[in-house]
């Protein structure tokens, strides 16, 4: 069997520009994709991201901007894609849900499920929040009768003919699936939540909108549009429908935020079961973070742009700072102050300083040549530890381990006072230099995944066959103490 890895991020709504919450999810997926490439090779990894465009939010935002929907979408999709390019995301493809390849796949799946009898026509009478693009029950609303997440938007009262997906029929198959595949949804706490939700009883869900102004028309009834979530989830399948990509499907793994777990872990697997398509290999739902203890929101003015952080500190700082702030899978907090401190101590003062000191000392005392005949350090177990942390998707753990390794190397340097030793015992110093060099090699290897823009600079400083190369500027861009 061919080994492969297909990783996806959610496709983001285009009515907003990317903020560091979206970047967190995309950077986490990027890290796992880079790790998969390290283990399986570039050709066996496929990383998909993109934009969710067939939404009422699009119509409203284009009207507000005073441009046509097409112009608005083109501009916004380009902004999302260029943000990912700017911050160094290694996606293999960027999918837009207005593309023909996606529309065709949605039509195909919708028709398949309809033909099977699991989509039927009915009437939907109830509430709808455009902010969430979700049908609501009155028990989902706050005391003022508004959506908890979008209290500034009016709840719509719908009374329209809709097509329904027979989700209720999948209660048992879903529970059996979770029983047989206990690790399919991680972390475990999220899985327990989903299982209780399924056990509380599943109702059929509306999967079309009669009054939607924009979206994908139903193949059997073009006056109706496919409900945006039913359409959006299918992107993961649309993205690999070419002969050279098809084999990736069985290794599909979705990284999502916890806010969209029910869509991905109840509706999506049921849709796939109904369409007769094998389920993806798994889903990981990460937590949400606040900014200085407060929810990130435009009205509070605390939204942070990933591009601003990247311009000030560099891309590696952005990814390391975000991914090491709190456990992947838990909620957390991010503060600009802690980030600046992290940059100063762990990156500039830790990694950058270690590479500089060690290579400068080797240049000064050994004419730049490390003696590779010395025994050195066996750091293979350290590398295995790093691999095992990433296999378990412990992203913060992997960064913590990286910085602990930097500390261990710095400690070896300081304890041995090799710059003094070199003047009195060249042989003893030579052995220490080899050990320190081994640490740099290990750090540069782990950096391919964790600090990918610095990794080539580290390799350039390490040089070839023990002959160290020229100094490189690392973690110097955002320093306030320059």
Token output for 468: 């160290």
Site string for ligand ME8, 50-89 (x = CB under 6 A): --x-------------------------------------
Nearest CB to ligand ME8, comparing residues 333 and 417 = 333
Q: Is 125 part of the annotated catalytic residue set?
A: no
What is the 8-class DSSP label of residue 67?
A: S
Nearest CB to ligand ME8, comparing residues 61 and 256 = 256
Instruction: Work out which of 4, 7, 25, 129 binds ligand ME8, going by CB under 6 A.
Output: 25
Residues in Cβ contact with 359 at an 8 Å cutoff, skipping those fewer than 6 apart: 440, 461, 462, 468, 469, 471
Query: Which one of 25, 57, 102, 132 is the catalytic residue?
Result: 132
Closest approach of Cβ 254 to ligand ME8, in Å? Answer: 8
Q: Is 25 part of the annotated catalytic residue set?
A: no
Tally the C-alpha atoms within 13 A of residue 158's C-alpha that lie toward its C-beta: 23
Closest approach of Cβ 243 to ligand ME8, in Å? Answer: 24
Q: Are 190 and 259 in contact (CB under 8 A)?
A: no
Instruction: Work out which of 289, 343, 399, 475 binds ligand ME8, going by CB under 6 A.
Output: 289
**Residues 167-226 contacting ligand ME8, CB under 6 A:** none
Q: Is 423 part of the annotated catalytic residue set?
A: no
Task: Report the alpha-carbon distance of residue 325 to residue 332 in Å, rounded.
Answer: 7
Stretch that binds ligand ME8, among 18-26, 119-127, 191-199, 341-349 (CB under 6 A): 18-26
Task: Report the alpha-carbon distance of residue 221 to residue 229 in Å, rounded.
Answer: 18
Q: Is 132 part of the annotated catalytic residue set?
A: yes
Q: Is 150 part of the annotated catalytic residue set?
A: yes
96 beta partners: 51
**Site for ligand ME8 contains 11 (CB under 6 A):** yes
Strands (E) across 380-431 are located at none
87: phi then psi, degrees, rounded to nearest 5:
-90, 10
Identify the three-state secondary structure at position 425: coil
Nearest CB to ligand ME8, comparing residues 288 and 383 = 288
Q: SS3 string of 221-274?
A: EEEEEECHHHHHHCHHHHCCCCCCCHHHHHHEEEEEEHHHHHHHHHHHHHHHHH
Stretch that binds ligand ME8, among 20-28, 73-81, 211-219, 357-365 (CB under 6 A): 20-28
* Catalytically active residues, by annotation: 19, 22, 129, 132, 147, 150, 295, 298
Binding residues for ligand ME8 (CB under 6 A): 10-13, 21-22, 24-25, 52, 232-233, 235, 256-257, 259-260, 288-289, 296
């Amino acid at each position: 069997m061919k080994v492969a890895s297909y990783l996806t991020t959610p496709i983001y709504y285009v009515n907003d520009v990317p903020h560091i919450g979206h970047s967190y999810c995309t950077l986490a997926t990027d890290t796992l994709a880079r790790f998969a490439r390290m283990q399986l090779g570039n050709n066996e990894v496929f990383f998909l991201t993109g934009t969710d465009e067939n939404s009422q939010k699009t119509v409203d935002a284009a009207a507000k901007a005073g441009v046509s929907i097409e112009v608005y979408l083109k501009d916004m999709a380009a902004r999302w894609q260029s943000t990912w390019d700017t911050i160094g995301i290694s996606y293999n493809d960027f999918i837009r849900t207005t593309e023909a390849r996606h529309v065709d796949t949605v039509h195909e799946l919708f028709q398949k499920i309809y033909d099977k009898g699991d989509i039927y026509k009915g009437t939907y009478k109830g509430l709808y929040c455009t902010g969430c693009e979700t049908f609501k029950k009155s028990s989902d609303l706050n005391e003022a009768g508004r959506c908890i997440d979008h209290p500034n938007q009016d709840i719509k009262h719908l009374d329209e003919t809709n097509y329904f997906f027979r989700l209720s029929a999948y209660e048992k198959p879903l529970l059996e699936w979770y029983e047989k595949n206990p690790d399919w949804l991680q972390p475990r706490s999220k899985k327990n939540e989903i299982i209780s939700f399924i056990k509380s009883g599943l109702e059929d869900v509306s999967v079309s909108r009669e009054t939607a102004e924009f979206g994908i028309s139903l193949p059997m009834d073009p006056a109706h549009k496919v409900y945006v979530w039913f359409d959006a989830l299918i992107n993961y399948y649309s993205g690999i429908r070419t002969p050279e990509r098809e084999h990736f499907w069985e290794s599909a793994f979705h990284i999502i935020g916890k806010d969209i777990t029910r869509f991905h872990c109840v509706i999506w697997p049921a849709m796939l079961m109904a369409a007769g398509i094998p389920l993806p290999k798994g889903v990981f739902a990460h937590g949400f973070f606040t900014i200085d203890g407060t929810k990130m929101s435009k009205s509070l003015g605390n939204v942070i742009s990933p591009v601003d952080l990247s311009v000030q500190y560099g891309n590696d700082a952005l990814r390391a700072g975000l991914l090491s702030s709190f456990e992947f899978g838990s909620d957390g907090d991010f503060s600009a102050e802690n980030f600046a401190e992290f940059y100063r101590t762990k990156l500039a003062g830790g990694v950058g300083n270690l590479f500089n000191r060690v290579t400068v000392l080797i240049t000064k005392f050994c004419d730049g040549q490390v003696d590779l005949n010395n025994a050195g350090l066996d750091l293979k177990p350290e590398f295995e530890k790093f691999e095992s942390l990433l296999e378990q998707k412990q992203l913060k753990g992997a960064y913590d381990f990286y910085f602990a390794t930097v500390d261990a190397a710095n400690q070896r340097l300081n304890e041995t006072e090799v710059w003094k030793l070199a003047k009195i015992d060249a042989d003893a110093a030579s052995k220490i230099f080899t050990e320190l060099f081994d640490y740099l090699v290990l750090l540069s290897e782990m950096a391919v995944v964790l600090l990918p823009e610095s990794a080539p600079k580290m390799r350039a400083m390490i040089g070839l066959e023990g002959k160290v190369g020229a100094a490189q500027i690392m973690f110097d861009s955002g320093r306030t103490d320059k």
